Amino acid sequence: MLAIPQSVASQPPAPDIPLAIVGEFRSRGHIEDYLARVVGELRQADRGDDGLDQGDVDFAVARRVAVTRAGQIQRILPMDLDGDLRITRAEIGESIGADSDPEIDEATRDRRIEHRLSPLDIDGDGAITLPEAAATARQQAWEQRFAALLALDPDRNGRLTASEMRLLAEKAFHTVDADGDGTTSETELKAIEPLVRENRMTWQAEICSLPPVPAGAMLIAFGGYESRTISPVQIPSNDPREKTRLVEVAIEPGEQPLYLVLTSYETTLWRLSGATARVSHVVATSYRAGRGGISAVGVTGVPERKISIARAGCPNYFSSTTEEEALRTRASIRFSLKRDPDAMFADYSTDRVSLPSGAIAADPDD
């Protein structure tokens, strides 16, 4: 069994080093440069030059979402050869043909077309429209840094000023600058390496549209790359060569409701059994995508109303609780569900897992 101990996994960053400004430290960086970067970023988001407030945060998030949508559309428009703002399978094929090795075989060409078409073709009509492209744009947590900064507002008046930010940044810098020479050395930065890593993965996390966790439910996340068991039911994905894997999920007896987030790389069928009445909801995701960018996964053993098949990779899979990807998945769940998981378990190749204990068996018969 692999798990993140809760006492460590949810331990917040040191209070004098806010996670939102950890990323601004540099090797052999001077305090003046650090302060300029931190305060300068706040000033860029502070539209009224009166301090960062919730309106500034909301605008920063909305603008990033709009830019992401526009980028998604911009990526597909070069394939709109007839200018009707609708990209067909044939147009994708022509574009791939123009950009590919002329010796490419037909099967490879068809896979590449499907790889481009399937994630964005929500209605499955063989073409991508601009609204479909916009709807499949992903939202990362990058702009949530400003919400994290606003939460540091020392006087709690709902406005973080540049002078307040400067004092917070100075305190953080002096905490890292152990010898007080005004410059951060490699050795000093090594002491905050875990925070730097968490900072990087946190703001790269994707925000997913997930049903809320009921009050009193235990939130459990499980991650795996694949199962060695082939499912008797095959789920379509953007790579038809890959077989659907089967993972048995044994729900152990207990009174507390369970909200499960089940993630995998491969196309996976999650088969729940046991005390399934205590399962309040299951969110299943895979890195491999099906039609319209939805995860190529399935869930059995609980009523359909308790199942959500999320977008591919949202939250993303993790196959070890000690790898960086687990930090990103944790952050994604935190931003999406407004709380951290109560427990995270993972195994690279899992055939059977028991929850909520997290006991893992490599063979379903074990």
**CA–CA separation, 154 vs 277, rounded Å?**
46
Residues 199 and 220 both lie in one domain? no
DSSP classification of residue 97? H
Domain end point (choices 204, 229, 257): 204
Backbone angles phi, psi at 364, to 5 degrees: -55, -25
Task: Categorize the per-residue pLDDT at 8 as very low, low, confident or very high, splitting at 50, 70 and 90.
Answer: very low
Query: Which pLDDT belongs to residue 363?
Result: 55
**CA–CA separation, 244 vs 266, rounded Å?**
7
Residues 169 and 122 both lie in one domain? no
pLDDT at 365 over 70: no
Residue 104's CB: how many other CB atoms inside 10 A? 12
List Cα–Cα distances, 76 to 108, 112, 138, 148, 313, in angstroms: 20, 14, 15, 34, 21
Is the Cβ–Cβ distance between 57 and 145 less than 8 Å?
no
* Structural domain contains residue 153: no
Tracing tokens 């044994």 back to the chain, one arrives at: 250
Nearest to 68 by CA among 119, 133, 138: 138
Residues 187 and 108 both lie in one domain? no
Residues 240 and 133 both lie in one domain? no
Task: Categorize the per-residue pLDDT at 109 as very low, low, confident or very high, splitting at 50, 70 and 90.
Answer: confident
**CA–CA separation, 52 vs 153, rounded Å?**
9
Per residue in 168-215, pLDDT (tens digit) is 999 999 999 999 999 999 999 999 999 999 999 999 999 999 999 999
Is the Cβ–Cβ distance between 301 and 273 less than 8 Å?
yes
Mean pLDDT of 354-366: 78
* Domain encompassing residue 270: 213-361
Per residue in 318-340, pLDDT (tens digit) is 999 998 999 999 999 999 999 99
What is the separation of C-alpha 334 from the centre of its chain, rounded to a whole number of angstroms? 10
Is the Cβ–Cβ distance between 203 and 142 less than 8 Å?
yes
What is the average pLDDT score of the chain?
91
Residues 350 and 237 both lie in one domain? yes
Residues 171 and 274 both lie in one domain? no
Nearest to 286 by CA among 315, 243, 329: 315
How many degrees, rounded to 5, is the angle at CA 118 between CA 113 and CA 124? 120
